[in-house]
Amino acid sequence: MLMDTHAHLNFKAYEADRAEVIQRCLAKPMAVINVGTQFKTSQEAVELTRQHDNFYAAVGLHPIHVFDESFNPGKYQALVNDKIVAVGEAGFDFWHFKHLKEPYKIILLHGWGGSKEERFFIWLEQELTALGHKVIRFDFPNTDNPNQKKWLQKLEQEAGYINGKTLFVGFSLGGVTALRFLEELDEDVKVGGVYLLGTPTADLGYNELKDFFKTDLNWGKLKTACNSYYIYNSTNDEIVSPDHGQKLARELDSEVTVVEGAWHFNVEKLPQLLDDIKQNIKNLNGILPTIEEVIKRQKEVFEAHIDLALKNNLPLILHGRNGLAERNVYLEMLDILKAKGADRAVFHFFGGDLATAKTLVQAGYFIGTDGPLTFDKKSEELQAIIRDIPLDKVLIETDSPYLAPEPFRGQRNEPVYVEQVAKKIADLKNLTLEEIIEQIWQNAKNLFKLKG
């Protein structure tokens, strides 16, 4: 049977069409292991197992979330049943450390009919750049007749990597665009602050704005994506009335700052806004962990996952990502596994070198490989690894919704695309697709103790 040993159909990316995606899995037919990355997504992965025979789950706290959630083994233990086939994904992630050293990125978003040349945007960029921060301001397309999809695409293109050191300043419709953008973020992404100036919460009666208010704002998701919202209204704003600011404040657990005589923020400077940004950054710096603190917490949580797996006689799904030149995340995880006596695990989405892969396989662990194996460029080393290591130590994954394989590259991934990974392995191993699918199924049964 075709098997995707690592997917996230429990993620928000499938909220609109999860049933259709699952139906494509059932029609294949195939089996899927959906993996939790926090307690909530672990619960949702478990729920999917109750609805579908060939769906299994893994429960755990992803290493990038160890400061977002306190790992409570008892809560995760309560999720364990006979369709929970692994603990994880757990481990170390050193890649995100580089972002701890980056400057804060402040993205300035103009409104309907406006441009990046708003006077207070120019002033704000000068002030923030002088403090060492990175400021991004750009023009949305067709500002007189704005289209939500195109504005969001432009924002995504210009914003790049989003994390807790990203701040948004949105004026009027730019504020709405920031909120719509946050609605679409993955569950594991949070931003540091959002500043909303004269931002409407509903259609103001203009046909040009209706596209942005076809659905209500998802307040729950917005509060998940950011903990710090700053709301500003002008005393003489005849376009966006104060009740919009009051609603924003009420729904986002914030307060309204009233600016005297700004008339829809047609001003040159906003000292209060600058002060708020500086204070927020100071607060964020105060809670931003050091690299040493992150590694220490990740190690503690990783060891707790191992204990939970051993207690339930379950294997581990491991997340490892390098990012520190002087350290090998996989070998550090291997040392801990050996010390704890955990001999059943898969190194999910392996991104190390051939020598490390051979060391892990010789120690008895599995290597998980995903969509990038099918890429023509920059995948030579990964392909060499899969070509060289024994097939009985390989598992195939999608890590849906991320990194779809060719020919679906750039699209949202889904479990049925795992067949493309199997085809690539067949090419690399000079075997038939059927032989690969059967061996991978046997590998999955071996590691996860699947029936059938």
Among 287, 312, 332, the domain-final residue is: 287
Domain of residue 90 covers: 2-97+291-448
Query: Under 8 Å CB-to-CB from 131, ≥6 apart: which residues?
Result: 278
Q: What is the CATH number of the domain that holds 311?
A: 3.20.20.140
Among 241, 265, 287, the domain-final residue is: 287
Please, is 103 exposed, middle or buried when counting C-beta atoms within 10 Å of its C-beta (0-12, 13-18, 19+)? middle
**What pLDDT band is residue 452 in, cutting at 50, 70 and 90?**
low
- For residue 146, how far is the Cα from the chain centroid? 28
138 and 263 co-located in one domain: yes
- Do 145 and 206 touch, CB atoms closer than 8 A? no
Among 287, 318, 353, the domain-final residue is: 287
277 and 343 co-located in one domain: no
118 and 7 co-located in one domain: no
Residue 403 gets the label, from left (phi > 0), alpha (psi -120 to 50) or beta, of left
264 and 345 co-located in one domain: no
Distance between terminal CA atoms of the chain?
10
d(CA 77, CA 95): 29
User: In this predicted structure, what is the pLDDT of residue 282?
Assistant: 95
Summarize pLDDT for 301-338 with one digit per residue, the tens: 999 999 999 999 999 999 999 988 889 999 999 999 99
159 and 250 co-located in one domain: yes
184 and 243 co-located in one domain: yes
368 and 429 co-located in one domain: yes
CA of 38: how far to CAs of 90, 261, 440, in Å? 10, 46, 27
pTM metric for this prediction: 0.83
The mean pLDDT of 90-105, rounded to a whole number, is 89
User: In this predicted structure, what is the pLDDT of residue 286?
Assistant: 87
β-bridge pairing 30-35 and 394-396: unpaired
Q: What is the CATH number of the domain that holds 175?
A: 3.40.50.1820
**What pLDDT band is residue 451 in, cutting at 50, 70 and 90?**
confident
**What pLDDT band is residue 158 in, cutting at 50, 70 and 90?**
very high
132 and 122 co-located in one domain: yes
User: In this predicted structure, what is the pLDDT of residue 96?
Assistant: 80
What is the total count of domains within the chain? 2
Does pLDDT of 98 surpass 80?
no
The larger pLDDT score, comparing residue 341 to residue 68, is at 341
303 and 444 co-located in one domain: yes
301 and 417 co-located in one domain: yes
Summarize pLDDT for 202-224 with one digit per residue, the tens: 999 998 899 999 999 999 999 99
107 and 209 co-located in one domain: yes
25 and 127 co-located in one domain: no
d(CA 173, CA 213): 11
Secondary structure of 73-110 as H, E, C letters: HHHHHCCCCCCEEEEEEEEEECCCHHHHCCCCEEEEEC
